[in-house]
């Protein structure tokens, strides 16, 4: 049983650019969530997808958007990058909603 | 708005000591509570999941309790080892089951 895999592991972007982060959920998991973790802070909920539909959203602006595909993999897109977007982005998957989450190793995004 | 607080922020103990990490939350209407471990720069590893109807869960040297009415959870680690050194995060599932709300974590250092 494979876990949650995220790509890339590290990324450096320039302010104003756009970025796409990818996540493959654990086999059989149909719920995917994305979190942003700034240094020294707990993760903050961005949004959740359940069977390809957005199912919940945290306090993030519309320039943070996502997709979930039929195989339940997911993408997080961030437009017009700002310096404060520099963080560890974590993807988590679950078998049905809230059965407990399995997290990936994250993508470290640095915006310069 | 749900807020999760973890005390202490940091803890240093000698090997072999039993220890307790504390988590409190402001809204008792939670779906469940999950404890995670995070190594520096890495993703989250799930340790224990307690459903809202449960009082405690155990896994090996770890025991987590939940008191919804008082808004508290504790993570008990028995016979600590240097390999237990990490940041421990407490997260409560919102009532809709769509998001985890995290505390800032307790950073544990176990010396040999």
Each residue's pLDDT tens digit, A101-112: 999 999 999 999
Distance between alpha carbon A62 and the CA centroid of its chain, in Å?
14
The answer to whether A66 faces chain B, any CB pair under 8 Å, is no
Q: A102 touching B, CB under 8 A?
A: yes
Interface mutation target, options A4, A26, A41, A42, chain B, most CBs of B under 10 Å: A42
Per-residue pLDDT of chain B (112 residues; tens, 9 = 90+): 999 999 999 999 999 999 999 999 999 999 999 999 999 989 999 999 999 999 999 999 999 999 999 999 999 999 999 999 999 999 999 988 889 999 999 999 999 9
End-to-end C-alpha distance for chain A, whole angstroms: 37
**Beta bridge pairs of residue B48:** B35
Write the secondary structure of B38-88 as one string of H (helix), E (strand) and C (coil).
Answer: ECCCCCEEEEEEEECCCCEEEECCEEEEEECCCCEEEEEECCCCHHHCEEE
The tokens describing A40, both together, are 């020294």
Q: What angle do CA B29, B97, B45 make, to 5 degrees?
A: 105
Q: Is B97 on the interface with A (CB under 8 A)?
A: yes
Please give the Cα distance from B63 to B75 (Å, whole number).
6
Q: Which residues of B touch A55 (CB under 8 A)?
A: 98
For residue A112, give how far its alpha carbon lies from the nearest alpha carbon of chain B (Å): 19
Name the residue in chain B with its Cα closest to that of A90. Answer: B43
A58 lies within 8 A of chain B by CB: yes
Cβ-Cβ pairs closer than 8 A, A with B, add up to 62
Answer yes or no: are the C-beta atoms of B86 and B21 closer than 8 Å: no
**Which of B36, B39, B43 has the alpha carbon at shortest distance from A103?**
B43
């Amino acid at each position: 049983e494979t876990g949650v895999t995220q790509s890339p592991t590290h990324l450096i972007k320039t302010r104003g650019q756009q970025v796409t982060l990818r996540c493959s959920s654990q086999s059989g998991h149909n719920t995917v969530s994305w979190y942003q973790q700034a240094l020294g802070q707990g993760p903050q909920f961005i949004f959740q997808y359940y069977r390809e539909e957005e199912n919940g959203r945290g306090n993030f602006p519309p320039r943070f958007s996502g997709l979930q595909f039929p195989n339940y993999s997911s993408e997080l897109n961030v437009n017009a990058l700002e310096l404060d977007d520099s963080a560890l982005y974590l993807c988590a998957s679950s078998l049905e909603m809230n059965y407990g989450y399995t997290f990936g190793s994250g993508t470290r995004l640095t915006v310069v | 708005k749900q807020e999760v607080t973890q005390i202490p922020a940091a803890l240093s103990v000698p090997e072999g000591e039993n220890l307790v990490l504390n988590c409190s939350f402001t809204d008792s209407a939670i779906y469940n509570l999950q404890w995670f471990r995070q190594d520096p720069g890495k993703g989250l590893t799930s340790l224990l999941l307690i459903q809202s109807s449960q009082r405690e869960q155990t896994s090996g040297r770890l025991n987590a309790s939940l008191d919804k009415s008082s808004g508290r959870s504790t993570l008990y680690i028995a016979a600590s080892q240097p390999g237990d050194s990490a940041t421990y995060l407490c997260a409560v599932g919102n009532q809709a089951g769509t998001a985890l709300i995290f505390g800032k974590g307790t950073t544990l250092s176990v010396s040999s």
